Amino acid sequence: MIALLLRDLRLATRAGGGFGLSLTFFLILVTLVPFGVGPEGGRLATIAPGILWVGALLASLLSLDRLFALDHEDGTLEQLATAPLPLEAVVAMKAIAHWLTTGLPLALIAPLLGVLLHLPGAAMPWLALSLALGTPALSMIGAFGAGLTVGLKRGGLLLSLLVLPLYVPTLIFGAEVARRGAEGAATGTPMAFLGAITLGTLALLPYATAAAIRVNLR
Amino acid sequence: MSIWEYANPKKFMQTSGALLPWAVGLSVLTLTAGLIWGFFFTPDDYKQGSTVKIIYIHVPSALMAINAWGMMLVTSLIWLIRRHHVSVLAAKAAAPVGMVMTLIALFTGAIWGQPMWGSWWEWDPRLTSFLILFLFYLGYLALWSAIENPDAAADLTSVLCIVGSVFAFLSRYAVLFWNQGLHQGASLSLDREEHVADVFAWPLWTSIAGFVLLFVTLVLIGTRTEIRARRMQALLAREKLA
């Protein structure tokens, strides 16, 4: 399992792996928002938690269609499916690798981009924490969508149609943590829900994803 | 005699063919009765005026929008567990009907909301949940049309339906957390004291019955069409081989 994780990490970080692409996308999105809504600091500060969360969600969506597609094309996925390691574990490892290369860097860079949007300093740790806690769920849900569409020629657009509605609960609780953090309110409740969603998806969705991949490999 | 006999497409076609004229007739009858009764023979509400009459379309369609997804969940599970083709074809036939019901509920709600709340759309939990439900229907139908192999499409959409149900449920309660509601509570209930007045309730029940029958009729027609399409494909494949 560790070997598979390291392999995926290496593939993602080397040239052509797309690492950094989602970070760049995140940066560009945050740059574009003030052009759309105007540069006043007060207005930007109120929408910053939401913008950063939606941006993180879209950025993690970007690299999803590569999650299984490349391995499907060159036959690696078949090899993995017949390997002694259960396919569920393979799926979970791939989702974790995806999180380590997109979600975690996004969580780390988000406070920096928050400065660009006049996010109050008190909200910074909450934003980073909520992203770090919530993005694993985004990666796992995304892996489910990628597993459903892995056999399709033009799965990319369909993938976003399938995955984005599934992101709703994560987004609600994640953005709520950041918003309450910015207002100095208690963040315990949405934080607990966010953690529950992440743990629940990590525990259950690998089975659904592996089932979908088995159908697509038939 | 068990319900699983209808997993046989031939048996299903015979029975549904016999039932269909009755279903069509009854749904036309109850729908017309319920709507005409509701629209022309009930008094205006003292506060809402005649806009209250949209309830005879809004409530039944919203009810069916949710129940259609519930039916798809059950039939998808039956397909995954017992591999009955009729079951998953019924789920496929129910999806567009449920999607249109969701749209009707959203639009009639907007038409009512404009004079009553002063706004076509509010980010109220119920409204938001329905919009999300609509997106789930769209995704489900898009996945059906994207996959060529019918069995793979049936399996994948069924898995999506199950996972989607969990997330739809989760979203329903997550949006309650996110924003407080403007929408009123349930108008009808079987056990509570608080209730819409009988003069409105009876035509409402009639038109709910009409919508249920309409749904059954449309799903039967859709399933029969899907079964015929499968038979055509099988015939064409056989001819190709011969």
Per-residue pLDDT of A149-207, as tens digits, reads 988 877 778 898 999 999 999 998 998 888 888 887 888 888 999 999 999 999 999 99
Classify the phi-psi angles of A92: left when phi > 0, otherwise alpha if psi is within -120 to 50, otherwise beta: alpha
DSSP secondary structure, A130-141, as one string: HHHHHHHHHHHH
Range with lowest mean pLDDT among A18-22, A131-135, B145-149, B178-182: B178-182
Mutate to test the interface with B, among A173, A177, A199, A215 (most CBs of B within 10 A): A215
CB contacts of B141 in chain A (<8 Å) are none
Q: Which of A148, A173, A190 sits opposite B156 (nearest CB)?
A: A148
Cα–Cα distance for residue pair A72/A217, rounded to 1 Å: 9
Cα–Cα distance for residue pair A79/B115, rounded to 1 Å: 62
Over range B58-62, report the average pLDDT. Answer: 91
> What residue numbers bound the domain in which B138 lies?
24-38+50-184+197-241
The model's pLDDT over B124-139, given as tens digits with 9 standing for 90+, comes to 888 888 999 999 999 9
The model's pLDDT over A67-81, given as tens digits with 9 standing for 90+, comes to 888 888 888 888 888
pLDDT, residue A184, reads 79
Instruction: Label residues A12-36 b or e (16+ Cβ within 10 Å = b).
Output: beeeebebeebbebbbebbeebbee
pLDDT, residue B182, reads 64
pLDDT, residue B91, reads 94
Contact A169 B142 (CB under 8 A): no
Cα–Cα distance for residue pair B93/B223, rounded to 1 Å: 6
B211 domain residue, yes or no = yes
B138 interface with A at CB cutoff 8 Å: yes
Enter the ipTM: 0.86
B13 domain residue, yes or no = no
Over range A20-45, report the average pLDDT. Answer: 85
Determine what percent of chain A is predicted with pLDDT higher than 70.
98
CB contacts of B162 in chain A (<8 Å) are 208
**Which residue reads 């949405």 in tokens?**
A190
pLDDT, residue B133, reads 92
pLDDT, residue B39, reads 85
Number of folded domains that form chain B: 1
Contact A215 B160 (CB under 8 A): no
**Shortest CA distance to B34 belongs to which of B193, B212, B217?**
B212
Cα–Cα distance for residue pair A89/A4, rounded to 1 Å: 10
The model's pLDDT over B96-105, given as tens digits with 9 standing for 90+, comes to 999 999 999 9
Classify the phi-psi angles of B72: left when phi > 0, otherwise alpha if psi is within -120 to 50, otherwise beta: alpha
Cα–Cα distance for residue pair B65/B104, rounded to 1 Å: 9
B19 domain residue, yes or no = no
Cα–Cα distance for residue pair A26/B108, rounded to 1 Å: 38
Range list of H helices, chain B: 9-40, 55-82, 85-117, 125-146, 150-178, 198-241
- Please say if the pLDDT value at position B2 is more than 80: no
The model's pLDDT over B24-58, given as tens digits with 9 standing for 90+, comes to 999 999 999 999 888 888 877 767 777 778 888 99
Name the more confident of B119 and B104.
Answer: B104
The whole-model pTM stands at 0.88
Q: Measured between CA atoms, how close is B65 to chain A, in angstroms?
A: 17
Contact A208 B159 (CB under 8 A): yes
The residues with which A176 forms a beta bridge, in sequence order, are none
CB contacts of B167 in chain A (<8 Å) are 165-166, 168-169
pLDDT, residue B181, reads 62
- Please say if the pLDDT value at position B94 is more than 90: yes
pLDDT, residue A4, reads 80
The model's pLDDT over B188-212, given as tens digits with 9 standing for 90+, comes to 655 555 566 777 788 888 999 999 9
